[in-house]
Each structure stands twice: as structure tokens, then as C-alpha cells.
């Protein structure tokens, strides 16, 4: 299973959802790989901590190294597993990101390397029960590569009118990627994130989306300061605070997806 977490809007919780769903899966005994495609490296830093970054450089080899070697015959091609790093968490592995991704994106586009990630993921899929792909907040070469390489797509949604309008464009882009490149891609569901159940407008907005027939997942994620603490400690919620309400919401969400 290759699952991409995608939204073109920033600040909707892509990295937090990617890492915490992957961590829940790993805690249940699945062998799980996270692939960080965001040049900001948020998911990578969440799992490895800032101590893994030496003088501002990402751990290597990483996903930037992978794409760079596709551009040059001078670079020795590595085995797919060489890009994978262990994390402090049992059963949970990572291909880190690199800010270099932003520098080489144009070259990758002009040399038509859009299917390279899919080949890497299909090879690694033989070794992992689940693969989670974190994406940048844009519809660009890397997000399209992820949509081509995945078979399922999760869409974080943070309950405001601007996000709603962006959602329709996002779904159109996913449908276009499916039609042009990847017939196997399915929208697995829309995750309502930072939900405030006592507030009238978020509930009304979600109800309207459900009425439109959009695939809103039943389990929602609350807004909580513990998420920021989890980021600061570089520790997924299921490891840091397994009994917290938000942790239990992630577990329930994972079980909904895993049914």
C-alpha cells in the first residue's frame, strides 16, 4: 500500500498526519516507510529530530540524492534500500527530504523524470507493509510524482471557506493525474483536521461537504497544543502520549482506513 497525503494548501497538517498515521501503523506491528518529498523537511525532522541535521544538511543519502542521480550518469546508482534510514521508533523507517529538491525541480521537469519515484516505491513496496508519502504545499513536479507513485490519496482539510474552495481544485488535479498517469489512484478520504466540534461553522461546513457526496472520513482530528509539543520533542503522539484524546483519534482514524 502506497498512500500519499496531499493538499496544495499549506498549514493543513500534512506532515503531522503522515507521521502520526505511519507511527500508529508501526506501533501495531506493521513495517512502515515514510517518504518525505517536502523541501521543508518537516516530516524528516519530526521523526529524526534536529540533531540528525549536521550544519544544516539533511541526512544522506535522501530523496534529493535519489532525484539528483537520475539527472547524472556520473553519479553511481544506489540500491533503493540505501536511501532508507532507521528512526528511533520500532518498525518505522524514513527516506528523508532535502532542501536541494527545490533547486533541481526544473531540471527534473525538463528531463521528464516524472515516473522515477513510482519505480522506487514499487521496488520498496516489497519490503514494507505500508508506505506514506508526505508532499509539499503545491501542485508541482514532486506532488505529481507522488500521485503517480501512490495507489491511495488522503486529503487533509482544516474547516474554513478558503480550504473548501481549494478542495475542489485539488480534486480536479487528482482526477487529472489519475486519468493521465495512474489509473490505480483512489481518493481514500478527506481528513477533517483541527476540528472544533462545539463550533457551529466547522460542523456546518463538514455537513455540507458530506451532503455533496465528498468522501469525508468519519473520524476527525481535534485541535490540540499537544501536537506542537510532539513536534518539539520529535516524537509521534502514539509514543509520547498514547492515552491522549488526539492520539486516540489518530488510532481510530487509522483503523477506519485499515478496515
Q: Give the domain CATH number at 55.
A: 3.40.50.300
pLDDT (tens digit per residue) in 81-96: 999 999 999 999 999 9
Tell me the per-residue pLDDT of 136-180, one tens digit each, with 9 for 90 and over.
Answer: 999 999 999 999 999 999 999 987 777 788 899 999 999 999 999
Grid coordinates in use for 117? 519515484
- Exposed e or buried b per residue across 129-140, where buried means at least 16 C-beta atoms within 10 angstroms of its C-beta: ebbbbbbbbebb
| Residue-by-residue DSSP string for 33-70 | EEEE--TT-HHHHHHH-GGG-BTTBPPSS-HHHHHHHH
The arithmetic mean of pLDDT across residues 4-18, rounded, is 92
Mean pLDDT of 19-47: 97
Q: In the numeric block, which cell numbers belong to residue 208?
A: 455540507
Instruction: Report percent pLDDT > 90 for the chain.
Output: 80
Rg (CA), the chain: 18
Among 43-47, 157-161, 242-246, which is the least confidently predicted range? Answer: 157-161
Distance separating alpha carbons of residues 18 and 97, to the nearest angstrom: 14
> Is-contact 3 131, C-beta < 8 A?
yes
Q: Is the pLDDT of residue 134 over 70?
A: yes
Q: What is the pLDDT at residue 195? A: 85
Q: How far apart are CA 183 and CA 134, in angstroms?
A: 21
Q: How far is CA 151 from CA 22, 76, 186, 189, in A?
A: 16, 29, 6, 13
Domain extent at residue 111:
2-258
* 151's grid cell: 495507489
H helix or E strand, kind and range, residue 157: strand 152-157
Answer yes or no: are the C-beta atoms of 147 and 174 closer than 8 Å.
Answer: yes
Q: Side-chain half-sphere of 180: how many Cα atoms within 13 Å?
A: 12
User: pTM, whole model, 2 decimals?
Assistant: 0.95
Burial 142-166 (b: 16+ CB within 10 A, else e): bbbbbbbbbbbbbbbbbbeeebbeb
Could you tell me if 67 and 104 are in contact, meaning their C-beta atoms sit under 8 angstroms apart? yes
Phi-psi category of residue 193: left, alpha or beta, with phi > 0 → left and psi -120 to 50 → alpha:
beta
The total domain count for the chain is: 1
Amino acid at each position: 500500500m502506497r498512500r500519499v497525503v496531499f493538499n496544495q494548501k499549506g498549514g493543513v497538517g500534512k506532515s503531522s498526519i503522515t507521521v502520526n498515521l505511519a507511527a500508529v501503523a508501526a506501533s501495531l506491528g506493521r513495517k512502515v516507510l515514510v517518504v518525505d518529498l517536502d523541501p521543508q523537511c518537516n516530516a524528516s525532522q519530526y521523526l529524526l529530530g534536529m540533531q540528525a541535521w549536521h550544519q544544516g544538511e539533511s541526512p544522506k543519502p535522501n530523496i534529493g540524492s535519489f532525484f539528483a542521480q537520475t539527472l547524472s550518469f556520473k553519479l553511481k546508482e544506489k540500491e533503493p534500500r540505501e536511501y532508507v534510514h532507521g528512526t528511533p521508533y520500532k518498525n518505522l523507517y524514513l527516506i528523508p527530504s532535502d532542501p536541494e529538491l527545490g533547486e533541481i525541480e526544473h531540471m527534473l521537469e525538463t528531463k521528464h523524470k516524472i515516473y522515477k519515484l513510482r519505480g522506487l516505491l514499487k521496488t520498496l513496496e516489497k519490503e514494507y507493509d505500508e508506505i506514506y508519502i508526505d508532499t509539499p504545499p503545491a501542485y508541482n513536479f514532486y506532488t505529481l510524482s507522488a500521485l503517480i507513485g501512490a495507489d491511495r490519496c488522503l486529503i487533509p482539510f482544516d474547516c474554513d471557506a478558503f480550504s473548501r474552495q481549494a478542495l475542489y481544485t485539488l480534486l480536479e488535479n487528482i482526477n487529472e493525474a489519475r486519468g493521465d498517469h495512474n489509473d490505480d489512484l483512489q481518493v481514500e478520504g478527506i481528513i477533517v483536521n483541527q476540528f472544533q466540534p462545539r463550533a457551529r461553522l466547522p460542523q456546518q461546513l463538514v455537513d455540507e461537504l458530506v451532503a455533496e457526496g465528498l468522501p469525508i472520513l468519519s473520524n476527525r482530528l481535534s485541535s490540540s497544543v499537544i501536537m506542537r509539543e510532539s513536534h518539539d520533542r520529535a516524537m509521534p503522539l502514539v509514543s509520547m502520549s498514547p492515552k491522549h484524546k488526539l492520539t486516540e483519534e489518530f488510532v481510530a482514524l487509522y483503523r477506519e482506513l485499515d478496515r
